[in-house]
């Protein structure tokens, strides 16, 4: 009897716990697979799609994704089990996403997957769109990747492409363009350093996840956030001035020493470059060694500020965000506080293409800052 691929059911929870315990993933830990009640509830959640591969009545592999129905974007959340079964389970899941029109963009990162597992996404139509150099994610090689799948016709009919590209982003766009069949974009003039903002007031770090999440929810509902899109990440840290004129929301993962800058709420005039530099300094003092940010690709001034704050582009994701006028492209930025110590990596050459551009951009920005 061959393999059967199907959507998981809550009653599969015990079998999935056994699958997890027999896999290398157990070494990194996942509290969900230690709590039967929580696991059953998670399988039943409408925003979670769990697919399993079954053979001879036994579950051999699991692939799950998380869905943001509002933005029609999804992320591959977990891949657990035998390599030979995972490919079929992923193919089944992607066909279901496409047939139901559940998402227009599905992406994966090796925050959750190994590069070997991510190769399976490429065999199912995903495109390599970036790297996360030196991030401590699922893959021990520390060259972590970003890949994405686009529903048929989305790139051609939904993508907003009427903007000019920041010149530092151009090499990353070119790699993505060739893979995804995108149109060429004109370049904007590199903006001058922002001026006119005040110095950064003294900031304090608040580590109170429920308070931070509620404050973020309230501001987002009022549309009071300067930056308010970072899919599937909830802030658990708030950096704030005493009077509340500056608030920066961050998602921090102490175990991997990672932080992502999620959003800002600014009612005081402040220099954005100095603000991001101070935020990164405070995160580094909290033992964070890798900081990530994303930004709308059409926002040349915002991108210039992020670059001047010490971030380097590492990926380009077309059509990431749903907007009233279509879908908008986003750029991924990274700031690593570690030296590069990669051995010779036997990986898809596209990852290395992005890595080379990352290294060149990082060196160029350092030189430009010194000249300034």
For 342-369, write each residue's pLDDT tens digit.
Answer: 656 667 788 889 988 998 998 887 655 5
Mention the CATH class of domain 4-157: alpha beta
Which CATH code for domain 203-371? 3.40.630.30
Q: Say if CB 324 and CB 70 are below 8 A apart.
A: no
Q: Say if CB 302 and CB 314 are below 8 A apart.
A: no
202 SS3 class: coil
pLDDT at 26 over 80: no
| Helices marked H in the chain | 13-21, 36-44, 83-100, 115-123, 154-157, 170-180, 209-221, 272-285, 300-308, 349-371
Q: Return the ∠ at Cα 256 (arms to 294 and 311), rounded to 5°.
A: 30
Domain with CATH 3.40.630.30 in the chain: 4-157, 203-371
Give Cα 229 distance to the centre of its chain.
Answer: 11
> Whole-angstrom Cα distance, residue 289 to residue 357?
21
Q: What is the pLDDT of residue 31?
A: 87
Q: What is the pLDDT of residue 371?
A: 41
Count of residues making up the chain: 372
Evaluate the CA torsion angle 69, 225, 331, 167 in order and state its sign. Answer: positive
For 306-348, write each residue's pLDDT tens digit.
Answer: 999 999 999 999 999 998 879 999 999 999 887 766 656 667 7
Q: What is the pLDDT of residue 367?
A: 53
Non-local (6+) Cβ contacts of 26 within 8 A are 20, 33
For 78-125, write each residue's pLDDT tens digit.
Answer: 999 988 899 999 999 999 999 999 999 999 986 667 777 888 999 999
Q: Say if CB 64 and CB 78 are below 8 A apart.
A: yes
Q: What is the pLDDT of residue 365?
A: 74
> Whole-angstrom Cα distance, residue 151 to residue 105?
6
The model carries a pTM of 0.91
Token look-up 């904007």 returns: 188
């Amino acid at each position: 009897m061959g393999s059967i691929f199907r959507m998981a059911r809550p009653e599969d929870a015990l079998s999935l716990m056994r699958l997890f315990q027999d896999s290398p993933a157990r070494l990194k830990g996942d509290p969900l697979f230690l709590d039967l009640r929580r696991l059953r509830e998670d399988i039943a959640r409408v925003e979670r799609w769990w697919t399993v591969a079954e053979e001879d009545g036994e579950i051999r592999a699991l692939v799950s994704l998380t869905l943001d129905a509002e933005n029609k974007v999804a992320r591959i959340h977990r891949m657990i089990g035998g390599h030979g079964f995972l490919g079929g389970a992923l193919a089944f899941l992607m066909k279901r996403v496409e047939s139901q029109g559940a998402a227009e963009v599905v992406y994966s990162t090796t925050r959750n997957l190994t590069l070997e597992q991510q190769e399976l996404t490429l065999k199912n139509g995903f495109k390599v769109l970036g790297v996360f150099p030196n991030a401590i994610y699922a893959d021990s090689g520390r060259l972590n990747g970003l890949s994405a799948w686009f529903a048929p016709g989305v790139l051609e009919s939904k993508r907003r492409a009427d903007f000019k590209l920041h010149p530092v982003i151009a090499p990353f766009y070119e790699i993505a363009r060739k893979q995804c069949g995108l149109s060429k974009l004109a370049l904007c003039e590199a903006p001058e350093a922002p001026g006119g903002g005040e110095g950064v007031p003294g900031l304090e770090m608040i580590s109170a996840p429920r308070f931070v999440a509620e404050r973020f929810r309230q501001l987002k509902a009022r549309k009071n956030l300067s930056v308010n899109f970072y899919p599937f990440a909830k802030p658990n840290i708030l950096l704030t001035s005493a009077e509340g004129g500056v608030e920066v929301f961050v998602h921090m993962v102490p175990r991997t020493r990672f932080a992502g800058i999620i959003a800002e709420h600014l009612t005081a005039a402040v220099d954005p470059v100095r603000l991001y530099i101070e935020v990164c300094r405070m995160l580094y003092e909290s033992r964070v060694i890798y900081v990530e940010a994303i930004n709308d690709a059409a926002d040349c001034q915002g991108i210039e500020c992020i670059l001047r704050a010490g971030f380097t582009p590492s990926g380009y994701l077309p059509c990431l965000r749903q907007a009233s006028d279509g879908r908008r492209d986003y750029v991924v930025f990274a700031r690593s506080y570690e030296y590069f110590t990669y051995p010779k990596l036997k990986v898809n050459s596209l990852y290395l293409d992005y890595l080379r551009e990352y290294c060149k951009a990082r060196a160029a920005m350092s030189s430009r800052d010194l000249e300034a």
